[in-house]
């Protein structure tokens, strides 16, 4: 499908576009007429995906090979965000997990995971919002995880990086309030992808099929949430009132933390 110039929505940068959720984002965004910049480390895969998108949708698709757990990799993508005024959407999707207790997780895995899931996502969000705010247009999508809602024994670092994405992205929503810039937080549950092999220590196969979503359903729901103007989209959460309750409760808890008097149960000064 080709799109006329006047309807072009601009360029979308998708990190982690070489597989899983990111690859499906690239496909769906190309179907919507976006030109693409595909970011990941595996160049051959990215080239094949880019060629396929060009051929099937008639869009431009560039490959940007970058290791986002390294400062130079993140800087290369940030540079594209600040130089290329056609970029109207960033999907901060690249991420990985290690399903291991802390003491069994090698130090480089920990630093790479924090570097990718937290530092790169933060710096690329900053570069995107700087460009989008200047143009008063653009959309930032950050991929968190249901694993960021509560302590998750066995995956202490991954779950915590996703808790960061949850709070960070919602904080950014406050920063763009009153502008035309949009920030969406996407919280997948369990999704079929190579990510489970990368994570090790757990296998998708023993999980009941009923709790695992396809990458296609996950991305289609995330984009439907974006179309509906949602700030937080949880593709597998049927009871969305529970999310609002959670947000309300944590917001009230934050407010009630600001009190100069020690709580009575500590009997300080009594």
Ligand X SMILES: NC(=O)C1=CN([C@@H]2O[C@H](COP(=O)(O)OP(=O)(O)OC[C@H]3O[C@@H](n4cnc5c(N)ncnc54)[C@H](OP(=O)(O)O)[C@@H]3O)[C@@H](O)[C@H]2O)C=CC1
Ligand Y SMILES: N[C@@H](C=O)C(=O)O
The residues that are catalytic are 158
CA distances from 187 to 26, 231, 250 (A): 18, 11, 17
For residue 97, state whether it binds ligand Y (rule: CB under 6 A): yes
At its nearest, how many Å lie between ligand Y and the CB of residue 204?
10
Q: Is 245 exposed, middle or buried (0-12, 13-18, 19+ CB in 10 A)?
A: exposed
Residue among 108 and 200 whose Cβ is closer to ligand Y: 200
At its nearest, how many Å lie between ligand Y and the CB of residue 117?
10
Of 71, 83, 76, 88, nearest to 13 by C-alpha is: 88
Which residue among 40, 140, 157, 199 contacts ligand Y (CB under 6 A)? 199
For residue 158, state whether it binds ligand Y (rule: CB under 6 A): yes
Contact status, residue 143 vs residue 205, Cβ threshold 8 Å: no
Q: Is 220 exposed, middle or buried (0-12, 13-18, 19+ CB in 10 A)?
A: middle
At its nearest, how many Å lie between ligand X and the CB of residue 233?
12
Provide the binding-site residues for ligand X, judged by CB under 6 A: 16-22, 40-42, 66-69, 73, 93-97, 116, 143, 145, 188, 190-191, 193-195, 198
Q: Among positive and negative, which fits the CA dihedral 130, 133, 137, 138?
A: positive
Backbone angles phi, psi at 139, to 5 degrees: -130, 130
If binding means CB under 6 A, how many residues of this protein chain bind ligand Y?
A: 10
- By rule CB under 6 A, what string of x and - marks binding of each residue 169-198 to ligand Y? ---------------------x----x---
Site residues, ligand Y (CB under 6 A): 97, 99, 145-147, 155, 158, 190, 195, 199
């Amino acid at each position: 499908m080709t799109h006329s110039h006047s309807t072009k929505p601009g360029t979308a940068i998708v990190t982690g576009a070489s597989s899983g959720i990111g690859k499906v984002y690239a496909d769906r965004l190309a179907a919507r007429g976006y030109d693409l910049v595909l970011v990941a480390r595996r160049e051959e895969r990215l080239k094949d995906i880019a060629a396929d998108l060009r051929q099937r949708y008639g869009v431009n698709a560039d490959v940007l090979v970058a290791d986002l757990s390294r400062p130079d990799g993140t800087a290369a993508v940030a540079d594209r965000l600040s130089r290329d005024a056609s970029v109207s959407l960033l999907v901060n999707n690249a991420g990985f997990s290690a399903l291991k207790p802390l003491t069994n997780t090698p130090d480089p895995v920990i630093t790479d995971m924090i570097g990718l899931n937290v530092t790169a996502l933060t710096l690329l969000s900053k570069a995107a919002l700087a460009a989008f705010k200047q143009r008063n247009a653009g959309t930032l999508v950050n991929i968190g995880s249901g694993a960021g809602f509560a302590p998750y024994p066995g995956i202490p670092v991954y779950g915590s990086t996703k808790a960061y994405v949850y709070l960070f992205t919602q904080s950014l929503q406050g920063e763009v309030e009153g502008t035309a810039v949009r920030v969406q937080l996407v919280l997948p549950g369990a999704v079929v992808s190579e990510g489970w092999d990368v994570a090790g220590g757990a296998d998708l196969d023993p999980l009941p099929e009923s709790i695992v979503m396809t990458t296609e359903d996950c991305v289609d729901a995330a984009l439907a949430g974006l179309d509906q103007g949602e700030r937080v989209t949880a593709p597998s959460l049927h009871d969305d009132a529970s999310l609002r309750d959670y947000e309300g409760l944590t917001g009230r808890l934050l407010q009630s933390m600001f009190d100069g008097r020690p709580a009575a149960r500590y009997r300080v000064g009594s």
